[in-house]
Amino acid sequence: AQSVTQLGSHVSVSEGALVLLRCNYSSSVPPYLFWYVQYPNQGLQLLLKYTSAATLVKGINGFEAEFKKSETSFHLTKPSAHMSDAAEYFCAVRDSGAGSYQLTFGKGTKLSVIP
């Protein structure tokens, strides 16, 4: 069964500092991996996704993530945090098998940005 683990339920960074949100996955087949962001009182929006085309994936708002098979990781980074980045971030995994409809989310990491 597929699963994702997000290390750290809450991460605080100063404005302008590096953002690093950690995600490790467990999947029996090559996975598809996603990062979603949820701003307060809103639904989830896709930040980026990994589909095996390239290990370094660039997303919206300056975020990127690197797929590392040897570490089973898909950590999310941004070089310089903005106040507007404060939100809940979810890593998600989906098996690549045909007809695999299940998207499994991690427990989320709340990012706080300190002025």
Partner 1 sequence: DTAVSQTPKYLVTQMGNDKSIKCEQNLGHDTMYWYKQDSKKFLKIMFSYNNKELIINETVPNRFSPKSPDKAHLNLHINSLELGDSAVYFCASSQESGHSGANVLTFGAGSRLTVL
List interacting residues with partner 1 (CB under 8 A). Answer: 32, 34, 36, 38, 41-46, 49, 51, 88, 90, 94-98, 100-105, 107-108, 110
Name which of 24 and 90 has its Cβ closer to partner 1: 90
We find the least distance from the C-beta atom of residue 83 to partner 1, in angstroms, to be 20
Cα torsion for 80, 78, 113, 39, to the nearest 10°? 130
Backbone phi, then psi, for 61, in 5-degree steps?
A: 60, 25
Q: Do the beta carbons of residue 1 and residue 18 sit within 8 Å?
A: no
Name which of 79 and 97 has its Cβ closer to partner 1: 97
Name which of 85 and 95 has its Cβ closer to partner 1: 95
Instruction: Report which DSSP code applies to 79.
Output: S
Reduced to 3 states (helix: H, G, I; strand: E, B; else coil), residue 85 is: helix
19/9 Cα distance (integer angstroms): 14
We find the least distance from the C-beta atom of residue 53 to partner 1, in angstroms, to be 9
We find the least distance from the C-beta atom of residue 15 to partner 1, in angstroms, to be 23
